[in-house]
Amino acid sequence: MKKILTSFMEAVTTIPDGATLMVGGFGLVGIPENLIVALSETGTKNLTVISNNCGVDDWGLGLLLRNKQIKKIVASYVGENKEFERQVLSGEIEVELLPQGTLAEKIRAGGAGIPAFYTPAGVGTPIEERKETRVFDGKTYLLEEALTADFSLIRAAVADKMGNLSYNKTARNFNPIMATAGRTTIVETECLIERGFLDTDQIHTPGIYVQQLIVGRQQKRIEKLTVTRR
């Protein structure tokens, strides 16, 4: 049985100043939104955040940006967040932008215990600066080091009390690999069921990677609404 929490504030109070976080999601899809809201209310600062992007101005990781709680972000996409763009251009925040596939593999490698790997992505670009290169079969590759985090904040659709997780369609995105790469993985789930009731074919993250669970309803905001006029 995993530790099942009843308060989102309780879930994030163990995150100290200066911690490194992985936060699941892609845009606003699959983000642990209630954990982020609670963290924005703690005042915890100097955070290093590893995430695909930084949400939007008034939701998701945009809340932490607005509060100046993030010192550095490792991401692949600035996205629709104007405050993120402003802080990057003004030098208020340190940012490391990576090719999306490289970011995903750095996280996956961290969870798998692989310290580094070679990739052709970024060769001949500013990403290559200060990185070791090596030639394989006449092609140049960059050495990229794996990523891990002190905490991973994850969103699941269904969890059982052993911590096994199932995600809903594209809300899976970065969540499974980030769940493996955090020393402490805190999961916000929409539904919590008894052990043995989750179809084994639907388990996307085994419970061995999960330390804490909390159930919460979500707003599920839409990042960009597109409609068709008739």
CB 144 within 8 A of CB 172: no
pLDDT for position 20:
98
In the three-class reduction of DSSP (H, G, I as helix; E, B as strand; rest coil), residue 169 is classed as helix
Least confident of 27-36, 157-166, 220-229: 220-229
Residue pLDDT, tens place only, 110-119: 999 999 999 9
Q: What is the pTM of this model?
A: 0.93
Residue 79 has pLDDT above 90, yes or no: no
Residue 215 has pLDDT above 90, yes or no: yes
CA separation for the pair 108, 110 (Å, rounded): 5
In the three-class reduction of DSSP (H, G, I as helix; E, B as strand; rest coil), residue 67 is classed as coil
pLDDT for position 217:
85
Share above pLDDT 70 across residues of the chain, in percent, rounded to a whole number: 99
In three state form, how does the secondary structure of 28-95 look? CECCCHHHHHHHHHHCCCCEEEECCCCCECCECCHHHHHCCCEEEEEECCCCCCHHHHHHHHHCCCEE
Structure tokens at 102: 């490289």
Across the strands, what pairs with 116?
145
CA separation for the pair 192, 212 (Å, rounded): 12
Residue pLDDT, tens place only, 12-23: 999 999 999 999
